[in-house]
């Protein structure tokens, strides 16, 4: 008589626990990395006291022109020339209903450079130009106490 080892029943379901672990790790990585992705040129924005909210600037199809402290002009993240920016903006807004372009300028950029870029954008047929700024920190001032009698 020969000895034949017996095999237990086969498992038909795949083991999904390692796949779930990998998916959770990827989810955490994307949650950490996504806020770090910035659109276009990263600049130190000018600080103002009463900025207006511009939620349209965060949209994926928003046209953002950046101006660095040295006066370099960027359309999105691609460096451009001031003389060509009007044509490039015109191409980007040609098929859009909302013809708004946002200018993200470094606070240390020369005023004349910013005005020149805004003029070029307006010459491209842009309806609205939004200037992206940062809110200045306001110190909480308290009224002086009245003198005690």
CA–centroid distance for 62 within its chain? 10
Environment class of 85 (CB within 10 Å of its CB; exposed 0-12, middle 13-18, buried 19+): buried
> Which string of b and e fits 33-62 if b means at least 16 CB within 10 Å?
eeeeeebbbebebbeeeeeeeeeebeeeeb
Whole-structure pTM value: 0.61
- Placement of tokens 């001032």 in the chain: 141
- Confidence band for 22, pLDDT divided at 50, 70 and 90: very high
- In the chain, the percentage of residues whose pLDDT exceeds 70 is 87
Lowest mean pLDDT: which of 26-35, 58-67, 111-120? 58-67
Confidence of residue 40 (pLDDT cuts 50, 70, 90): low
Kindly give, in sequence order, each residue whose CB lies less than 8 Å from that of residue 61, ignoring residues fewer than 6 positions away: 96
Q: To which residue do tokens 């390692």 refer? A: 18
Mean pLDDT to the nearest integer, 137-142: 60
Domain 47-135 -> CATH class: alpha beta
Question: Domain limits of the chain?
Answer: 47-135
Least confident of 37-41, 75-79, 111-115: 37-41
Q: So what's the pLDDT on residue 104?
A: 87
Per-residue pLDDT band for 23 (boundaries 50, 70, 90) equals very high
Q: What pLDDT, on the 0 to 100 scale, is given for residue 24?
A: 95
Q: How many residues does the chain have?
A: 149
């Amino acid at each position: 008589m020969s000895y034949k080892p017996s095999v237990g029943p086969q498992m038909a379901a795949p083991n999904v626990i390692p796949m779930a672990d990998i998916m959770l790790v990827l989810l955490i990585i994307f949650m950490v990395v996504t806020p770090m992705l910035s659109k276009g040129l990263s600049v130190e924005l000018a600080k103002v006291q009463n900025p207006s909210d511009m939620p349209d600037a965060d949209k994926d199809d928003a046209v953002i022109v950046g101006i660095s402290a040295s006066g370099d002009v960027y359309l999105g993240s691609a460096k451009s020339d001031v003389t060509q920016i009007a044509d490039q903006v015109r191409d980007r807004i040609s098929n859009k209903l909302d013809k708004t372009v946002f200018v993200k300028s470094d606070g240390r950029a020369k005023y004349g450079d910013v005005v020149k870029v805004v003029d070029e954008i307006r010459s491209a047929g842009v309806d609205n130009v939004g200037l992206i700024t940062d809110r200045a920190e306001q110190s909480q001032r308290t009224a002086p106490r009245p003198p005690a009698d």
